[in-house]
Amino acid sequence: MIGRVPRWPTVIVGIVAVIWVIPIIGIVATSIRPLAETSRGWWRIDEFTLTLSAWQRVWEAYPLAPALGTTAFLAAVATLGTMLLTPAAAYAFHFLKFPFRRLLLIIIINAFVLPQQVVVIPLFQLWREMGLIDNFLAVLIPYVGLSFAWSIYLVKTFLEDFPPELVEAARIDGAGPLQTFWFVVLPNTLNSVFAVGILQFLWTWNALLLPMLYLRTNVPLPVILARINGTYELNWDLQSVAAIVTTIVPLVIFLVFQRQFASGSQARTGAKE
Amino acid sequence: MANSVASPATDGASTRSSREADGQRKLLARSRGRFRDSPAALLLLVPVLILFGIAVVFPLIDTIRLSFFDIKGLGKPKFVGIGNYIKLFTDPAFRNTMWTTLVFTVSTTFFSVGLGWALAMLCAFAPRQTLPFRVMIFAAFGISEAVAGYMWIGILRPDSGGLLNAVIGLFSPGFAQPWLGDPRTAIWALVATATWGAVGLPLMLCFAAVQQIPKSLFEAAYLDGASHWQVMRNIMVPLSMSGVRVAVFINLLGMLRAFDIIYILTGGGPVRSTETVGYFMYRESMTQFKLGYGAAATVILLVAVLIVSVPAIIQRTAGAR
């Protein structure tokens, strides 16, 4: 801002920012120092040793490695599913004419308000009847199905700026609606589809409630963290490693793509300035 | 359709004006056009509609239906009408839950948006210098609720190994408050943890709103001799309100839905003092196996969510073209 920049706002924001990262520093410090040193507080430095012992032992103590694989697999499949199906639906809603188009659109884009608690009981009963408890489909179907409420809105909003002349030109040249989608519209929506993918990836990676209820043997990282947390064992070092492993991938992706995330979560919760 | 089928015949009749015939032809074209794309649309939409139907429409209807039944575990459902709702509103635990939900949702939204907005105002004075600080605060928003809950357990530990007790202990030695074990403080511990994670978004939204204010407005104000305080009060505050509104809505909705953070941090305790409606439904249906009762609580949550979302729903519905 113009010429004279006062110093004090920066100082205040800086102090708050340092306070804000203390919890993060806390679990990192706890994970790389011996338990004996940190049990009375990870910030004490009367004795100071760095060790990767917890990072080595944790894979034996908790099933973190298979959980990491499960989490990555679930997040990848759910993200791909959403990224493949969303642009097709957004294109159909924006450029094609068919009965009940507006009604269906209104229902889908307003479903963003629904909390995930709504699916808990009905899907629990349905999966139990169908024998899908402990099957990855039990979480993948709601992951992808719930995502449409915000993903279609996000891509369709993007399509509103897409020049309709391009679509008309393709039609006049004899391209059918599917060809128009594949060759003209889809290649130009990749940015918004990518943003949808990032949001869906973070959401599914961090999901706790549905996998905790519908999966038993192969569970993702947040469920493992919840189980470890419930045992009241005093092994803060191992638990901290588990927490870091759980959050590092989504955190890095989040920080790299933070711009898309800020605008995307706006679309996800419906508000537009 | 009957109209359009008849139109070619009437077209030939010379008594009809050409204008009317033209109108008929347009109607014909439009009604054909209405269904023209249907096969393609169906092909593109079928997987979406099936998944959306299973994951959203069915659960929504079924939750409402189940809320009228008494279901215990695998037993036979018994229709009880609005019995579950009557039971909910006479259940002291649920009344306490509604109060907890209100306190948690409103205070977390208030503190996170208030702090995020204030920080955005400060950042606007020095956008470039504060960039790394904004990223640091925003990072907390990128950490999942479950991990955030875990981190704060460490800070709120009841002994002097908890950071909060240690810091207070600097001023009054030996201080040891079981923040998560005392019903009076547990709810505020939860609010603090949720606020920590939720400040990033209001900060970013309000900061973006302030950044959109034309620079010439500030220049004019400073040329006219306005102080920083006046610029803030008369330009930045009113023009950042669009960001505040969006942030309030997003955080209200997010806190009403909260589950993960409560599950990890307090598990609803001690003595059910941190159970919100979103957690209550989980406890009743998935740990006590009272599915109908849990479904009724979910419907109450749904009503709360809908009330908060009315403006957004109107806006989206009106904008759906």
Quote the pLDDT of residue A228: 87
Residues B258, B136, single domain; the answer is yes
A201 touches chain B (CB under 8 A): no
The domain in which residue A13 lies consists of 1-51
Interchain contact, B127 vs A1, CB within 8 Å? yes
Asked if B230 reaches chain A (Cβ–Cβ under 8 Å), the answer is no
Residues of B in contact with A9 (CB under 8 A): 122-123, 125-126, 130
> What's the CATH code of the domain at B116?
1.10.3720.10
Query: Which range, of A49-53, A230-234, A251-255, averages the lowest pLDDT?
Result: A230-234
A35 and A81, same domain (yes or no):
no
Q: Check if the beta carbon of residue A238 is closer than 8 Å to that of residue A38.
A: no
User: What chain A residue is nearest to B62 in terms of C-alpha separation?
Assistant: A122
Question: Looking at the complex, does the CB of residue A85 fall below 8 Å from at least one CB of chain B?
Answer: yes
Residue B79 bridge partners (DSSP): B69
Neighbours of B251 (CB within 10 A): 25
What is the DSSP track for A127-172?
A: HHHHT-TTSTHHHHHHHHHHHHHHHHHHHHHHHTTS-HHHHHHHHH
- Name, in order, each residue with C-beta under 8 angstroms of A37's C-beta and a sequence gap of 6 or more: A44, A47, A48, A49
What is the band of A222 on the pLDDT scale with cuts at 50, 70, 90?
very high
Residue A69 lies in a domain: yes
A145 shares its domain with A255: yes
Residue numbers in B near A37 (CB within 8 A): none
A47 shares its domain with A68: no
Residue B228 touches partner A, C-beta closer than 8 Å: yes
Q: Which of residues 251-310 of B touch A (CB under 8 A)?
A: 253-254, 256-257, 259-260, 263-264, 267, 278, 281-282, 285-286, 291, 294-295, 298, 301-302, 305-306, 309
Task: Report yes or no: A179 at the B interface, CB cutoff 8 Å.
Answer: no
User: Residue B258: closest CA among chain A residues belongs to which residue?
Assistant: A115
In this prediction, the answer to ipTM > 0.90 reads no
* % of chain A exceeding 90 in pLDDT: 56
Q: What percent of chain B is predicted at pLDDT more than 90?
A: 51
Shared-domain flag, residues B54 and B196: no
Residues B162 and B282 in one domain: yes
Q: Domain check: are A121 and A231 in the same one?
A: yes
**Averaged over B50-71, what is the pLDDT?**
95
Size of interface A-B (CB pairs under 8 A): 333
What is the average pLDDT across A242-251?
A: 93
CA B181 – CA B104 distance, rounded (Å): 17
* Residue A273 confidence (pLDDT): 33
Angstrom distance (rounded) from CA A105 to CA B321: 9
Q: Do A71 and A45 share a domain, yes or no?
A: no
Q: What is the mean pLDDT of chain A?
A: 88
C-alpha B157/C-alpha A30 separation (Å) is: 14
- The chain B residue lying nearest A230, using CA atoms, is B264
Say if the Cβ atoms of B139 and A177 lie within 8 Å: no
Residue where a domain stops, chosen among B14, B49, B82: B82
Q: What's the 3-state SS for chain B? A: CHHHHHHHHHHHCCCCCHHHHHHHHHHHHHHHHHHHCHHHHHHHHHHHHHHHHHHHHHHHHHHHHHCCEECECCCCCEECCCHHHHHHHHCHHHHHHHHHHHHHHHHHHHHHHHHHHHHHHHHHHCCCCCHHHHHHHHHHHHCCHHHHHHHHHHHCCCCCCCHHHHHHHHHCCCCCCCCCCCHHHHHHHHHHHHHHHHCHHHHHHHHHHHHCCCHHHHHHHHHCCCCHHHHHHHHHHHHCHHHHHHHHHHHHHHHHCCCHHHHHHCCCCCCCCCCCHHHHHHHHHHHCCEHHHHHHHHHHHHHHHHHHHHHHHHHHHHHCC
The answer to whether the CB of B229 falls within 8 A of the CB of B113 is no
Chain A residue whose CA is closest to B164 = A41
Rounded CA separation B221/B231 (Å) = 7
Co-location of B144 and B158 in the same domain: yes
In a domain, A273, yes or no: no
The pLDDT assigned to A262 comes to 59
DSSP 8-state class, residue A217: S
Q: What is the pLDDT of residue B78?
A: 87
Distance CA B143, CA B148 (A): 6
Amino acid code (one letter) for B83: G
Same domain, B36 and B115: no
Instruction: Assess whether A20 and A97 both reside in one domain.
Output: no
For residues B76 and B127, membership in a common domain is answered with no
Whether A269 has its CB under 8 Å from any CB of chain B: the answer is yes
Structural domain count, chain A? 2
> CB A152 to CB B309 under 8 A?
no
**Predicted pLDDT at A219:** 94
B7, pLDDT greater than 70:
no
Helix (H, G, I), strand (E, B) or coil at A192: helix
| Pair (A159, A189) in one structural domain | yes
Residue A248 pLDDT exceeds 70: yes
Q: Using an 8 Å CB-CB cutoff, list chain B residues near A186.
A: none
B144 touches chain A (CB under 8 A): yes
More confident residue, B306 or A47: B306
Q: Are residues B97 and B20 in the same domain?
A: no
Q: How far apart are CA B277 and CA B15, in angstroms?
A: 70
Q: Is B67 on the interface with A (CB under 8 A)?
A: no
Is residue A163 located within the same domain as residue A214? yes
Cβ neighbours for A64, distance < 8 A, ≥ 6 positions apart: A58, A221, A224, A241, A242, A245
Chain A CA closest to residue B118: A13
**A267 vs B119 pLDDT, higher one:** B119
- pLDDT at site A207: 94
Q: How confident is the model at residue A160 (pLDDT cuts 50, 70, 90)?
A: confident
Residues A110 and A200 in one domain: yes
CB-based burial label for B92 (10 Å; 0-12, 13-18, 19+): exposed
The verdict on B29 touching A (C-beta cutoff 8 Å) is no
Mutate to test the interface with B, among A118, A124, A186 (most CBs of B within 10 A): A118
B73: left (phi over 0), alpha (psi -120 to 50) or beta: left
pLDDT, mean of residues A211-227: 93
- Among chain A residues, the shortest Cα distance to B292 is held by A121
Last residue of a domain, one of B26, B58, B82: B82
Q: What is the largest CA-CA distance in chain B?
A: 104
- Spatial contact of A13 and B123, defined as CB atoms under 8 Å apart: yes
Per-residue pLDDT tens digits for B173-230: 878 888 898 999 999 999 999 999 999 999 999 998 888 888 888 888 888 888 888 8
Q: What is the DSSP letter of A65?
A: H
Look-up of token digits 């009403």 = B256
CATH number of the structural domain spanning residue A175? 1.10.3720.10
- Confidence (pLDDT) at A267: 54
Listed in sequence order, the residues at least 6 apart from B205 whose beta carbon sits closer than 8 Å to its beta carbon are A262, A266, B116, B120, B243, B244, B246, B247
Both B39 and B56 in one domain: the answer is: yes
Confidence band, pLDDT 50/70/90 cuts, at residue A3: low
CA of B23 vs chain A CAs: smallest distance (Å): 20
Is B28 a residue whose pLDDT tops 70? no
Residue B139 sits in the same domain as residue B125: yes
For residues A24 and A159, state if they share a domain: no
Cα-flanking dihedrals φ and ψ of residue A48, to 5°?
A: -140, 110
Q: pLDDT tens digit string along A7-35?
A: 888 999 999 999 999 999 999 998 998 88
Residue A121 has pLDDT above 90, yes or no: yes
> Among A39, A66, A6, A69, which Cα is nearest to A249's?
A69
* The domain boundary residue, chosen from B35, B55, B82: B82
Q: Are residues A27 and A100 in the same domain?
A: no
Q: What is the mean pLDDT of residues A151-167?
A: 89
In a domain? residue A89 = yes
Phi (first) and psi of residue A215, to 5 degrees: -115, 150
Same domain as B103, residue B12: no
Instruction: Give B265-293 pLDDT, tens digit per residue.
Output: 998 878 899 999 999 999 999 998 899 99
How many distinct structural domains can be found in chain B?
Answer: 2
Q: Please tell me the predicted confidence (pLDDT) of residue A36.
A: 81
Q: Please, which pLDDT band fits residue B13 given cuts at 50, 70 and 90?
A: very low
Chain A: closest CA distance from residue B16 (Å) = 31
- Asked whether residue A144 falls in the same domain as residue A231, the answer is yes
Pair B193, B54 in one domain = no
In this structure, the answer to whether residues B98 and B127 fall within a common structural domain is yes
Domain that includes residue B45, residue range: 2-82
Higher-pLDDT residue of A260 and A133 is: A133
Distance separating alpha carbons of residues B307 and B259, to the nearest angstrom: 20
Name which of A84-93, B13-22, B96-105, B131-140 the model is least confident about: B13-22
Question: How many Cα atoms occupy the beta-carbon half-sphere of B194 within 13 Å?
Answer: 32
Per the model's pLDDT, the better-predicted residue between B101 and B235 turns out to be B101
Q: Which residue of chain A has the CA closest to B203?
A: A262
Q: What are phi and psi of A271, to 5 degrees?
A: -85, 140
A residues 236-255 near B, CB within 8 Å?
Answer: 236, 239-240, 243, 246-247, 250-251, 254-255
